């Protein structure tokens, strides 16, 4: 039981390049999320997916796209990377997503460290 | 969601109790208090949550004041591995967890030998 797995762990891009961050969870969770964390700051929600087939914008969605490929996988794509997108990206998952009460517990991956030059 | 206020940093001696305060004076009746922590460079980890009653689990205790305007996370016997940033978050129950979880600056707890 690996929990939440993110790939790649590290990536360096040049401005204008594109890339996709992969995230997979093996806990059969309904909801998945992408956050970014800038140095010395808290986490900010980029996009989330309440259930397979649905995605919604979070606090800072500009410059990103997401795909909920299936229940396990939720990818984050940078179409044209900018230096302002240099950050640590965290994927998370939770049981909730169907309007049911849950514990509110999010399970996070180890992060993907992205540098855009 | 209600905004929370936490001290920027705290120190604690190893083996002693660490008491981390959080103010959430504008909390609504249907909002829960959640605590997460983030050990250096790792993803955040859920610790505990509560509505109005005090809660305890294997990691920590959560004390919520009667008026619910503040709470305290207690690590009963802090170890060096508890050095981390601790986030206090309030959110409405029964909705998607992530879309309503706002991580502020948190409290940087340093456990010293």
B50-106 pLDDT per residue, tens? 888 899 999 999 999 999 999 999 999 999 999 999 999 988 765 565 666 778 889
Q: Do B105 and A41 touch (CB under 8 A)?
A: yes
Q: What is the CA radius of gyration of chain A?
A: 14
**Distance (Å) from the C-alpha of residue B106 to the closest C-alpha of chain A?**
7
- Phi first, then psi, for residue B99 (nearest 5°) are -70, -10
| Sole residue written with tokens 């999320």 | A33
- Which token pair is B86? 């601790």
Sort out which chain A residues have CB atoms less than 8 A from B104's CB and list them. 42
- A-contacting residues in B 42-101 (Cβ below 8 Å): 42-46, 49, 87, 91, 93-99, 101
Instruction: Give the per-residue pLDDT at A97.
Output: 46
Helix then strand count (H, E) for chain B reads: 0, 9
| Nearest-angstrom CA–CA distance, A90 and A110 | 7
Pairing state between β A10-13 and A64-68: unpaired
Decide if B59 contacts B48 (C-beta within 8 A): yes
């Amino acid at each position: 039981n690996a929990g939440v797995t993110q790939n790649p762990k590290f990536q360096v891009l040049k401005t204008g390049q594109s890339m996709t961050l992969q995230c997979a969870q093996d806990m059969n969770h309904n909801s998945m999320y992408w956050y970014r964390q800038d140095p010395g700051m808290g986490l900010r929600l980029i996009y989330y997916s309440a259930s397979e087939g649905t995605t919604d914008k979070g606090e800072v969605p500009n410059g990103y796209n997401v795909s909920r490929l299936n229940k396990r996988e939720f990818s984050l794509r940078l179409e044209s990377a900018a230096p302002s997108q240099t950050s640590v990206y965290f994927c998370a998952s939770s049981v909730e997503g169907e309007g049911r009460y849950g514990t509110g517990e999010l399970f996070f991956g180890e992060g993907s460290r992205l540098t855009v030059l | 969601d209600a905004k929370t206020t936490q001290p920027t940093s705290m120190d604690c001696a190893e083996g002693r109790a660490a008491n981390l305060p959080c103010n959430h004076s504008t909390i609504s009746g249907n909002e829960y208090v959640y605590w997460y922590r983030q050990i250096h460079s790792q993803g955040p980890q859920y610790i505990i949550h509560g509505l109005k009653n005090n809660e305890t689990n294997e990691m920590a205790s959560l004390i919520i004041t009667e008026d619910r305007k503040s709470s305290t996370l207690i690590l009963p016997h802090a170890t060096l591995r508890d050095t981390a940033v601790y986030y206090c978050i309030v959110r409405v129950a029964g909705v998607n967890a992530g879309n309503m979880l706002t991580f502020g600056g948190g409290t940087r707890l340093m456990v010293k030998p």
